[in-house]
A and B are shown apart, each in its own frame.
Chain A
Amino acid sequence: MNAEISLQDRIHTILAALTTVPSDEISDGDRLREDLGMDSVASMELLSMLAEELGIEVEMEEAVDVATVGHVVALAKRHLDAR
């Protein structure tokens, strides 16, 4: 649970930097576009940044389906668990 919270915090922190929404106001249910104001370019760049920061290799096809903060966390966790 602590490791998951830590991952969640890291992702929220990255999102806060990308979107100017404070990290403590970001929740897993937030939609990247409607709630965080991220367009398709920013959403894709987010995943690229996560790959760089977390050292995970996300497939392009997985990236297309990410629509919420929770999806981002789950995607990252899936890849980290598989390592």
Chain B
Amino acid sequence: MLAESALASDEADLVSSLIDSVDRYARDRIDARGIDRAHQIAPSVLRDLAEIGLFGLSIPERWGGAGLSMRAIADVTTALARHDRSVATTVGLHLGLGTRGLVAFGSEAQHERWLPDLAAGDSIAAFATTEPDAGSDLAAIRTRALLRDGALHVDGGKVFVTNGGFADLYTITASTPGLGGARRGHGLLVLERGDPGVRAGAEEDKLGLRGSSTTTLHLDGVVVPKDRLIGPPGEGMAQLAHVLAWGRTLMAAGCIGTAEAAISAATFHTSERKQFGKALDRFEVVQDQLADMAALRFAMVALVRDVTALEHDPAALLARSVAVKVLCSEAAWEIADVAVQLHGGSGFVEETGVALLLRDARITRIFEGANDVLRIHLGLTEATNPREPASLAAHGPIGLEADAFVARIKSFRTALTSTHGVRLLGKQRLLHRLGQLVVLRDAVHAAVRHASDDPDRAARWLSLARQRSLVLLEAS
């Protein structure tokens, strides 16, 4: 476990108390398999979590929330996700994507109107941006909000809206041509469930996160006052980027919860299950798998710690949130998959719970940005505006090894840019490789910075990252 020193002292006690409340409540009242079978979280559970204060964690105290730091919210999200990912997604969506646009960019009047109920959990938030023809390509959205006769006329539709089935408030992304003088601007708007023309569709039947509500959202002839627009006209894409940075980081924190649940199950199972006369965890291959899982989890925690510390530097948060999302979603899937494998046949059966962890983890590699597209974005950013992480030499031998690792990636990037020049920007395969190397680099840097907390796991992660980088560095 990494040191808690990064949490401000006034928050540490509150977070500890919240996590304790979450753990006690979840042990008694959250039945992950029951939620999965029912395809629903009981409304009473959400009310109880609102009573604990979970829906107000990210909302300023002035409006009735707890106004916690991003790091603190991440820690509570991790705790909730250890118990059930559907519940964590429902709450986490509200705390991140669902309310962030309003909190960060809303006016005083908008805050006064909506934040108190959102903080209390009396109103649940959703975020609607994806469309049938606009998934990774968000600039292609067709939902339009046109200003006519002093009101916004909104038409279009969204898909895969988390919390869509019961949200009271939707932040949507719309094209806003002409608004604010921008021919093809975008904006974030607030719509309420009761607005005429706003209608949620049927619940999707999903591979995982079955307790989390996912619906379409139909917007037919919606007319709302122009004060539903969040922030200045035409700023929607920049606002969306900030909202996604928060959403991705909190989602990464949820992935840590999944990873920890999987590791806990695997550790227990392999200590109990005997084959050939001894417990599974006495076998070298199993020991290696468990050690790799723990090292990967260490890297996840370290990187989330580092990224949440960038909360007050929006540009840096935006840049780094992509890597933490990719790392943690891939790691959660990998760890859950190994947990299933270590359980043998019983891992394939729902009773042990590890199959559910795997099913629930799958979507995290897709939503909030499909990972392969994000890797290309990372490669593009690194190619055009390279980041030079600080030297880790002060951390001793492991720091020097990490510096060498970082230097090798820098050389790779330099070789790409000098060979291809600006044409590199159109070479997806190379950008994809560079992007994945950036993910590994950031995770190594974070893990080594926190190496004093667990030197063995930091070293093992560095070794794993080096192995994984080889295929990327040496591919022709």
Using a CB–CB cutoff of 8 Å, the interface residues on chain A facing chain B are 19, 21, 30-31, 33-42, 44-45, 47-49, 51-52, 57-60, 62-64
Segment with Cβ contacts to A, from B295-303, B398-406, B421-429, B445-453: B421-429
Q: Which of A38, A48, A62 counts the most B-chain CB atoms under 10 A from its CB?
A: A48
Return chain B residues, CB-CB under 8 Å to A40. 380
Are A36 and B385 interface neighbours, CB within 8 A?
A: no
Interface residue stretch chosen among B37-45, B116-124, B159-167, B181-189: B181-189
The answer, yes or no, to whether B8 is at the interface (CB within 8 Å) is no
Interchain CB contact under 8 A, B184 and A44: no
With both beta carbons as reference points, the residue of chain A lying nearest to B427 in the complex is identified as: A48
Known: A38-B139, A44-B380. A63 touches B184 (CB 8 A): no
Q: Mark B414-448, 1 if CB is under 8 A from A, else 0.
A: 00010001111111000000000000000000000
What residues on A are CB-neighbors of B384 within 8 Å?
Answer: 44, 60, 63-64
Contacts of B380 in A (CB 8 A): 40-41, 44
Is the CB of B199 closer than 8 A to any CB of chain A?
no
User: Would you call B185 and A58 a contact (CB within 8 A)?
Assistant: no
Tell which of B175, B377, B383 touches A60, judged by Cβ atoms closer than 8 Å.
B383
Of B182, B184, B426, which contacts A49 at CB under 8 A? Answer: B426
Provide a sorted-by-A list of 29 A–B residue pairs whose CB atoms are within 8 angstroms.
A19-B184, A21-B184, A30-B183, A31-B182, A33-B237, A34-B182, A34-B185, A35-B182, A35-B183, A37-B184, A38-B139, A41-B377, A41-B380, A42-B139, A44-B384, A44-B425, A45-B426, A48-B424, A48-B425, A48-B426, A48-B427, A49-B426, A51-B421, A58-B422, A60-B383, A60-B417, A60-B422, A63-B422, A64-B384
Q: A33-B237, A41-B377, A52-B426 are in contact. Are A59 and B184 (CB under 8 A)?
A: no
- Is the Cβ of A60 less than 8 Å from the Cβ of B426? no
A34: contacting residue among B183, B385, B417, B425, CB under 8 A: B183
- Distance from A27 Cβ to chain B, minimum over Cβ atoms (Å): 10
Tell me whether A48 and B184 are in contact in the complex, defined as CB-CB below 8 angstroms, given that A39-B139, A41-B377, A60-B383 are known contacts: no
A60→B384 CA distance, assembly (Å): 6
Asked if B385 contacts A64 (CB within 8 A), the reply is yes
- Tell whether B101 is near chain A: CB-to-CB under 8 Å: no
What is the CA–CA distance of A45 and B380 in the complex, to the nearest angstrom?
Answer: 10
Interface status of B234 (Cβ within 8 A of chain A): yes
Bound together, the chains give a CA A4 to CA B185 distance in angstroms of 29
Q: Is the CB of B184 within 8 A of A34?
A: yes
Residues in A with CB closer than 8 Å to B234 are 34
- Residues on B with C-beta less than 8 A from A59 are 421-422
B378 CB, min distance to chain A CBs, angstroms: 11
Q: Which of chain A's residues have a CB closer than 8 A to the CB of B385?
A: 64
Docked CA distance A63–B425 (Å): 10
A62 contacts across to B, CB distance below 8 A: 422
A35 touches B184 (CB 8 A): yes
State which of B183, B185, B422 has its C-beta within 8 Å of the C-beta of A48.
B422
A58 to B423, CA, bound (A): 8
- Whether A47 lies near B237 (C-beta < 8 A) is no
Closest approach, in angstroms, between the C-beta of B385 and any C-beta of chain A?
A: 7
Query: Bound complex: CA of A65 vs CA of B186, how far in Å?
Result: 22
Q: How far is the CA of A19 from the CA of B137 in the complex (A)?
A: 12
**Which residues, 134 to 169 on B, are CB-close (under 8 Å) to A?**
138-139
In the assembled complex, the Cα of A37 lies from the Cα of B427 at a distance in Å of 22
Q: Mark B356-373, 1 if CB is under 8 A from A, else 0.
A: 000000000000000000
Contact yes or no, A47 B422, CB < 8 A = yes
- How many angstroms between the C-alpha atoms of A27 and B389 in the bound complex? 41
- Ranked 5 nearest A-B pairs via Cβ: A48-B426, A37-B184, A34-B182, A48-B425, A58-B422
Q: With a CB–CB cut-off of 8 A, which chain A residues contact B422?
A: 47-48, 51, 57-60, 62-63
A57 in contact with B421 (CB, 8 Å) = yes
Residue from A21, A35, A41 with most neighbouring chain B CB atoms (10 Å): A41
> Bound state CA distance, A18 and B345, in angstroms?
50
Task: Give the complex CA separation of A51 and B421 in angstroms.
Answer: 9
Give the residues in chain A near B186, CB-CB below 8 Å: 37
Nearest to A47 among chain B residues (CB) is B422
A63 to chain B, nearest CB (A): 5
Q: Cα distance A21–B139 when bound, in Å?
A: 13
The docked-state distance in angstroms from the alpha carbon of A42 to that of B270 is: 49
A52 to chain B: closest residue by CB: B423
